[in-house]
Structure 1
Amino acid sequence: MGGKRMTQVTDHGGGVRSIKVPIPDNPLGHTLVYVVDTDAGPVLIDTGWDDPGSWDTLAEGLTACGTSVAGVHGVVITHHHPDHHGLSGKVREASGAWIAMHAADAAIVRRTRENRPERWFAYMAAKLEASGAPEEHIAPLRGTRTSARRPSTLPGFSPALPDREIVPGELLPLPGRRLRAVWTPGHTPGHVCLHLEETHPARLPGRGRLFSGDHLLPRITPHIGLYEDPDDATVTDPLGDYLDSLERIGRLEPAEVLPAHQHPFADAPARVRELLDHHEERLTGLLSLITTPLTPWQLAERMEWNRPWEQIPYGSRTIAVSEAEAHLRRLVKLGRAEAVPGSEPVTYVAV
């Protein structure tokens, strides 16, 4: 078994390796956890999902890299999602490593730990009701509030608190390396990419290497939905944030991108252009759907997904509606759509 897992390690040269840490029951398959050698010991970029099998793979991968969990010096988190931040606490317990995260995502981690799950479910139920979701979709969330299931058994409800802040534009404290934080909000409010400002080990043309987290992936588009926060009534524009962040990354022109899923790739500017074009086409397509007023839920039902709406499972429908809302918010901000006054639940129409 150990031998099989050892093949999960890839050497990217220049003191950078990756470990494929599995995400249980998820089509993404795995998170690429990067191991960066520094003069103070190995530093991890992300850690993978909090699951016993994932932990074993991470531990065996570190052994294959000639180190161990106990030898980890620090953990840099691209964003707070559980397939990235999940094992951070266990790594810190085993090694004494620091955990660094952008302040916006650290605030989400703090609120997640402080908020009772019942409050979260009540908030989600109210949001879905406002989006025009049918009662049968909302009912399970209402039921959860009275359920006996303990919060600690729910994944992601007690994530590790980071103890260092990633400051955009600054170099991270990695002795002997030049790793600069680039703030790329969109997928989450505090998502960061990390620019390794060093000559590419294979001398590929471009400026260093970029650990891109979920911001820039070779073949898929990250989920861009509304930033969920029961305590914040600010009208955010995650899709606008994401598109601005994409352009910033394109201008960096890294020689190679090391993403958190799938595989490394070159020509970041070309991939950025593809994604910008994809979202522009999607926004234009959505305008043709809202020539008559639709709720966010009705829009999500009519949008193109990777399978027909009736085949989309429960949790993914909630995510799809959030994505529809993020696109609607962008169209409203651009002056290309507006809410219909007095509609309840609120409907949107193209201008």
Structure 2
Amino acid sequence: MQSSQDREPAPAVHDHGGGVRSLRVPIPDNPLGHTLVYVVDTDRGPVLIDTGWDDPASWDTLASGLTACGTSVTEIHGVVVTHHHPDHHGLSGRVREASGAWIAMHAADTAVVRRTRGARPERWFSYMTAKLAAAGAPEEHIAPLRAARPRALPGLSPALPDRDIAPGELLDLPGRRLRAIWTPGHTPGHVCLHLEEAHPAQLPGHGRLFSGDHLLPEITPHIGLYEDPDDTTVTDPLGDYLDSLERVGRLAPAEVLPAHQHAFPDAAARVRELLAHHEARLTDLLALLAEPLTPWQLAERMEWNRPWADIPHGSRTIAVSEAESHLRRLVKAGRAEAVPGSDPVTYTAVQ
């Protein structure tokens, strides 16, 4: 994600009214700073929307925040996960162990969790090595992955959910109306959650939207590639994301409660900004593709929040994945094409 300007610190616990509160659970060594974990009161006890990063300090913050809300980890009835990333799903297993709570996630992200749990670390390193080589990454970038020793990596043992979230369903939250909206793009199984209840402050619009990472007030979520190494399907995550944005805009919620930064109104205006941002970026990339470029070369030339020379190794890998997702959108739209016979493959704009 692209970082934004720092805001004034907010309280660790915020009451949004109507039986909804948020906790600022820290993400270690990350410019985002924290994940907003939402506590939703139900007739059977509190339900969490996301849980935060699996880290001792994050766990302590979650536990103390729940105490400040007048409840505790042991009283949690369920966990609804917007998507599988470790800053959202990381503590779900610990919450379930402490409380017996169920965990719900969209099946597409559950498949990623299952695949992640079943893969050995060395398979991840070999997959990333081959993927980066195919994208035209230089040997000096790939070499650390070739030399890496298999080890436990963060997020490689995420909890398996107990329940699937079906798109359009009302979740089983007694006394609440929380509907799942499938919003793929940031991950294949990302969901937003529409609280179909009157806004407690009577703001105009239709309820409130827990938007996860799909819709954020000041930053754009990373849109990379999420693929099964054993599946040859060519995905279009950016296309999925743009379609999902328009779906959320049509909901017209009174307020958006995102997983990072702060709550905000007028989802439709933010959707328009993000659609315009991505269209402008695609247009800029077409100008770069006046000459054939590999995904790595394209990423080097794209505009990021800092110069390419200052982007660390891991973030460059993420940047290349984002460049590839934009390339796939251009190819699918007939605006760019692969150059026949190029190895590693290069792409050029369609004239």
CA deviation after TM superposition for structure 1 residue 142, in Å: 1.1
Q: Residues of 2 paired with 1:204 and 1:150: CA distance? A: 50
TM-align CA RMSD: 1.0
> Is the 1:98–1:164 Cα contact (8 Å) retained in structure 2?
yes
CA-to-aligned-CA distance 1:233-280 (integer Å, 9 cap, x gap): 110000000000000000000000000000000000000000000000
> Is the 2:121–2:151 Cα contact (8 Å) retained in structure 1?
no
CA-to-aligned-CA distance 1:269-327 (integer Å, 9 cap, x gap): 00000000000000000000010000000000000000000000100000000000000
Residue aligned with 1:126, SS = helix
Q: Residues of 2 paired with 1:87 and 1:120: CA distance? A: 22
Work out the percentage of aligned pairs sharing the same amino acid.
83
CA-to-aligned-CA distance 1:65-124 (integer Å, 9 cap, x gap): 000000000000000000000000000000000000000000000000001111111011
CA deviation after TM superposition for structure 1 residue 150, in Å: 3.4
Residue aligned with 1:41, SS = coil
What's the counterpart of residue 347 of structure 2? 348
What does 1:181-200 correspond to in 2, within 5 Å? Answer: 181-200=180-199
Q: Residues of 1 paired with 2:16 and 2:294: CA distance? A: 47
TM-score normalised to structure 2 length: 0.96
CA deviation after TM superposition for structure 1 residue 231, in Å: 2.2
- 1:141 matches 2:145: yes
Residue aligned with 2:187, SS = coil
What's the counterpart of residue 151 of structure 2? 150
TM-score normalised to structure 1 length: 0.96
Over 3 Å counting, the alpha-carbon distance change for 1:6 and 1:298 in structure 2 is closer
CA deviation after TM superposition for structure 1 residue 229, in Å: 2.3
CA-to-aligned-CA distance 1:191-231 (integer Å, 9 cap, x gap): 00000000000000000000000000000000001113222
What does 1:68-87 correspond to in 2, within 5 Å? Answer: 68-87=72-91
> Is the 1:6–1:64 Cα contact (8 Å) retained in structure 2?
no
Q: Which runs of 5+ in 2 are unaligned?
A: 1-8
Q: Which runs of 5+ in 1 are unaligned?
A: none
Q: Residues of 2 paired with 1:6 and 1:188: CA distance? A: 28
- 1:33 matches 2:37: yes
Residue aligned with 1:21, SS = strand
> Is the 1:247–1:272 Cα contact (8 Å) retained in structure 2?
yes
What does 1:1-351 correspond to in 2, within 5 Å? Answer: 7-144=11-148, 147=149, 149-151=150-152, 154-351=153-350
Structure 1 runs (4+) greater than 3 angstroms displaced: none
> Is the 1:256–1:264 Cα contact (8 Å) retained in structure 2?
yes
Q: Residues of 1 paired with 2:41 and 2:220: CA distance? A: 30
Residue aligned with 2:180, SS = strand
Q: Residues of 2 paired with 1:6 and 1:53: CA distance? A: 18
Letter matched to residue 150 of structure 1: R
CA deviation after TM superposition for structure 1 residue 58, in Å: 0.1
